[in-house]
Structure formats: C-alpha cells, structure tokens
Structure 1
Amino acid sequence: MPWLLSSQLERLSASPSQRQCERTSFAFYCSVREQLPVWMLEDMRSMEVFCWEDGRPRAFLPSEALLYALVHNHQDYARYLLNRYSVSALRALRCSFCCHSSGSPHLTVAVRYDRVSILSMMVEALKDCDTQSKRQDYLDGCGGCSHVADAGKTAVQLAVELSRPDCLLLLLVHGAQADGLDAALQRLVSSNTTERRHAQRCLDFLLLFLPKLPDLSHHLQDERQRWQSLLGNEVFSWLCGLAPPPLLLQALRCLARSSPDHITALPYFLQLHSWQ
C-alpha cells in the first residue's frame, strides 16, 4: 500500500512481519519512482521486497513491478520486465480487498497515464501469447472488481474517453476491438478547442477500424448543423447513410483491415486530416 504514510501503516498492521513487508513495499515503490537502475530494482524485488498475502510474506511479482514502472514511466525497467518475463509480466493481479482476481489492468493503466512507449512494448509482448483468443482477452479485457480504477472499461474505451489518440491507434493496430463510437462523438462535442484535436483523431481512428458502422442518422440529424461543422459534409453524409464514404477514407479503411500496421507509416499527405 504505497499511498499510505508510515504512521498509518503502523496503525493498520498487526504483526511485525506485516509491518516490515509494508515498509519494504513502500521503499520499492519509491525506488521505482526515483528511476533507480534496473539491476538494483530487480535485486530489491527478488531478494529484499515482500508483500503480505494470506498471512505470510511473498516476493513482488513481475506483473506488480510492471505496474509501478507504468505509473512512474520507468521505461527501462518496463522493457526489462517484458523482455525477461514476456506475457507473464501482464498476468492478472489478485485484489487485496476482496481476494479475487482483478484482471490484468496494465493496458488501462498505460492509457490512463498516457504511457505510449510502454504500451507499445506491452502490445508487442502480447504476440507471445499461446493462442489468439488469449491475446484477444488481454486486448479487450475490462479488469474485474467494481472498486478497481477504470473497472468495466476496455483500454480502447478508456482511450476514447480520455482522448488518447496515440494509445488508441496502438491498440487498434494490434487487434483490439474498435469500440466506443458514441463516446467518441460525445467527446468531440464536449471538448474545448484545445482538446478537440485529440478527440477528433480518436474518432478518425475508430472510423478506420470499425468493421461495421451503426445507424447514426437519427442521432446526428437531430443537430444537423453542429455535426456538419464538426465532421465535415462528406463524413456527416456517410455516417447518416446519405452518401458513400469519401474515397480516401474508404481506401484507408481497406488498408486498416488488410495491413493495419501500415496506417502508422502513411506519409503526411495521406494522414487522416486529408479527408476532412
């Protein structure tokens, strides 16, 4: 529990062994925050740092250490953990409050803190999954317990909600399910001028990767003038079912389905703003 002060730890913990575990856990948290070298952190994690579980101490798991690396953007440590432990560094964590698995929160934590570089390392590590279904479970998982931050949301939904276009594109390119079109449209409406560019990019990426567009004609035509100004006439007409998609958008959607990784390598004149 690294967010508790040492005086609070003394009151919450009953046994000297548990108090010692909490002190070492907090020390490890601080060491990652201070960006100490990887070799030193791994020595601490494997030999000196313990957490308390089921009435006894145990060493910190790589997946727990990766969460600390995510929060504090320790890219070298995250890279080491993912190279050394691969997918097992993304294993589900046990919730200390209800003692059930709380899912694998690493992707949503990366989106929450906008850790694009570490997110890229994680989705690459997922290529080592035994099966495609297991990999998809990681990409589209919601993470379980109701009291856990961002519970019930996929990494894609959170990226849309927070307008994190770089995170969203990484997830979609690596096979995450495109979801949250309604949220992307609402985010575009509610964003101020500064945030709107990021919200627009998120919407653009979803439009590329959605396998099938829902019927939005009634929703958009209720405020026709506003949506036309936000989306442009061509995209507005397409989403309302009044016209085919713009030619460039149609070509990019085909590219996203056939070779999604090529989307990130497009030259400037073929970037998403070109169809607006």
Structure 2
Amino acid sequence: ASCSKGVFRLHCRYKHRECERTAFSFYCAVREQLPVWLLEEMRSMEVFCWDNGGPRAFLPSEALLYAIVHDHHDYARYLLNRYSVGALRAPSCSFCCCPGGGAPHLTVAVRYNRVEILSMMTEALKDGGGLWKRTDYLDGCAGCGHAADAGKTAVQLAVELSHPDCLLQLLIHGARPDGLEAALQRLVSCAPPERQQAQRCLDLLLLFLSEPPRLPWLRAEPQRWQAVLGSRVFSWLCGRAPSPLLLQALRCLAQSGSDRITSLPDFLQPRS
C-alpha cells in the first residue's frame, strides 16, 4: 500500500510539473500576441493548470487575465464577446491563494493602464444579462489579501496610480467616484512629471460627485487649498457655495460618454 501511495505521489508530482510547463507555454503564447484561434485551441486542448489535485483547462476568466496583462486586444475582445460577463468571473483558487475573493480583472486593467480592454469590459458589464449587479462589480475590491491591490476598488487604484483614462471609463459606466481625499493628497505630493495626470484624476472625480464629501481639513489650510483648487471649487467642497456653472455643464457632458469630454477643445478640458 505504501508503495502504491509513493507511485501515486510521483505521478501527481510529474503531472503538476507538466501542468506548470504547459501553463507557462500558454502565458508565453498570449505574450507573443499569437492569433486568437491558436490561443483558444491551446486553451481548450493543449494546456492545463493544476487545481484541486488534478489538471484542468484554463477558464475564460483566467485567459482574460493573461490578455489584459499582455494587452492582447483581439483575444480580450473574443473572450468577452464569446463568454460575455462569464469571462469576468473570479478565477479559481489555482490562480489565487485566497479563494472566494473578488474578480481582479478591473484592477489588473487599471494597474497596467489597459484603457481599451477596460472599455471592452465595462461594455460587457453593461450588456451582461443581469448575472450580477453592474455597480457592485465596478465598486468591488480586489479580493486577494496578499496582493498589492487588496481592499482597493478600481477607482481608488486609478487615482493612486494617476491613470485618468481608466478612471473616466469606470466613472462613465457607473463606478462610485470615491477617492477624492486620496486624489487631493496625491496632487500635492506627486513629482512634477506626474502632476498633470494627477490633476486630471482629481477633475474627473469632481465631475462625477453629486455633492462634496465632508473634508474638514480643507478649512484648516484655506490658503493652501484655494491655491490648488481655485476659490470657487474650494468654496463648493467646503459647503459654502454651489458647484461652479462650468463644472455643472461639464458634468452633463461627462456622464453621457467619455468621447464628449475628450473631444472638447483644450481650453474647455476639465481643470480645477
């Protein structure tokens, strides 16, 4: 019996290593931007990952993570068109040591600044057939406790990394515009080369805020924050005045689609 168990363990170890080898080959194939038909043939027939003591084929949601990391637009588009929101489900525990966590696709797209693929995903959520509430997914936190993005929403991560194009995609599709305090602190602490992007993130949050959050520390340093925000926006955030008329007009444009804002002439682009 002990001999049979030893043979079984060796067999499992061999199979596990074989799965690691084929999984890495699939990763490399996506990285090399191989054609979609070939990647799907590999995923369904040739490559396997190890899960719950045995080999299995990669799930569409796991393949989508590879497509996001390596910016493979055609493969991401195929997976989202073929499997819809099924491709956005949380990967299995073989991809994450914290089973039961949230799906990481949005935060991975934000971290790698994959604006076009993020747009595809938010469109898929809009037409997702009600498998889950869209806003719950957009506002969900990365579920893996050991990851750098643990506990952060995609919006919060976009603010932290100063990725305004990703932030705009999330906001126009209904993500909650939280992170204003982080955006303000980021703006005054970041290096000059990053300041323009940080400013854009702040401006976009302001566009989508229905009412300003309570930030009592703004009043503690009025001169500093008036210089950063301008007197009108500062007064609005402190609850002393309504939002500026230009901000209200831009908000109507922003909430009707990202192209309405990005196509504005430079002098009308959102700025505090």
Same fold (TM over 0.5): yes
By how many angstroms is 1:250 displaced?
A: 2.1
Partner of 1:142: 141
By how many angstroms is 1:266 displaced?
A: 4.9
By how many angstroms is 1:139 displaced?
A: 0.8
Residues of 2 paired with 1:240 and 1:256: CA distance?
Answer: 23
Describe the superposition over 1:40-82 as per-residue Cα deviations: whole angstroms up to 9, x where unpaired: 1111111000011111110001110110111111111111111
Residues of 1 paired with 2:176 and 2:93: CA distance?
Answer: 26
Q: 1:132 to 1:199 in 2, by over 3 A?
A: farther
Partner of 2:155: 156
Q: 1:58 to 1:99 in 2, by over 3 A?
A: farther
Q: 1:107 to 1:271 in 2, by over 3 A?
A: same
Partner of 1:10: none
Residues of 2 paired with 1:145 and 1:207: CA distance?
Answer: 30
Partner of 2:4: none
Higher alpha-carbon deviation: 167-176 or 143-152: 143-152
1:224 equivalent to 2:226? Answer: no
Superposition map of 1:123-134 within 5 A? 123-131=122-130, 134=133
By how many angstroms is 1:36 displaced?
A: 1.2
Partner of 2:3: none
By how many angstroms is 1:232 displaced?
A: 1.5
Contact 2:172/2:258, CA 8 A, preserved across alignment:
yes
1:236 equivalent to 2:234? Answer: yes
Contact 1:28/1:45, CA 8 A, preserved across alignment:
yes
Instruction: Pick the aligned partner of 2:25 from 24, 27, 31.
Output: 27
By how many angstroms is 1:211 displaced?
A: 2.3
Residues of 2 paired with 1:262 and 1:26: CA distance?
Answer: 38
TM-score, length-scaled by structure 1: 0.87
Partner of 1:105: 104
* Larger relative contact order, structure 1 or 2 (CA cutoff 8 Å, min sep 6): 2
SS at 1:272 equivalent: coil
Residues of 1 paired with 2:197 and 2:103: CA distance?
Answer: 26
Count of aligned positions: 260
Instruction: Pick the aligned partner of 1:251 from 249, 252, 258.
Output: 249
Contact 1:95/1:102, CA 8 A, preserved across alignment:
no
Contact 2:98/2:145, CA 8 A, preserved across alignment:
no
Contact 1:139/1:175, CA 8 A, preserved across alignment:
yes
Q: 1:65 to 1:219 in 2, by over 3 A?
A: same
Partner of 1:201: 200
Contact 1:18/1:52, CA 8 A, preserved across alignment:
yes
Residues of 1 paired with 2:146 and 2:269: CA distance?
Answer: 40
SS at 2:133 equivalent: helix
Q: 1:261 to 1:162 in 2, by over 3 A?
A: closer
By how many angstroms is 1:215 displaced?
A: 2.4
Higher alpha-carbon deviation: 187-196 or 124-133: 124-133
Gaps of 5+ in 2: 1-10
Residues of 2 paired with 1:203 and 1:167: CA distance?
Answer: 13
Contact 1:93/1:101, CA 8 A, preserved across alignment:
no
Gaps of 5+ in 1: 1-12
Higher alpha-carbon deviation: 126-135 or 260-269: 260-269
Partner of 1:8: none
By how many angstroms is 1:15 displaced?
A: 1.5
Partner of 2:92: 94
Higher alpha-carbon deviation: 121-130 or 19-28: 121-130
Describe the superposition over 1:84-133 as per-residue Cα deviations: whole angstroms up to 9, x where unpaired: 11111111112336462222100000000000011011101112223395
Residues of 1 paired with 2:41 and 2:82: CA distance?
Answer: 14
Partner of 1:210: 209
Contact 1:94/1:102, CA 8 A, preserved across alignment:
no
Residues of 2 paired with 1:207 and 1:99: CA distance?
Answer: 35
By how many angstroms is 1:260 displaced?
A: 4.9
Q: 1:209 to 1:132 in 2, by over 3 A?
A: farther
- Over aligned residue pairs, what C-alpha RMSD do you find? 2.0
Partner of 1:119: 118
Partner of 2:261: 264
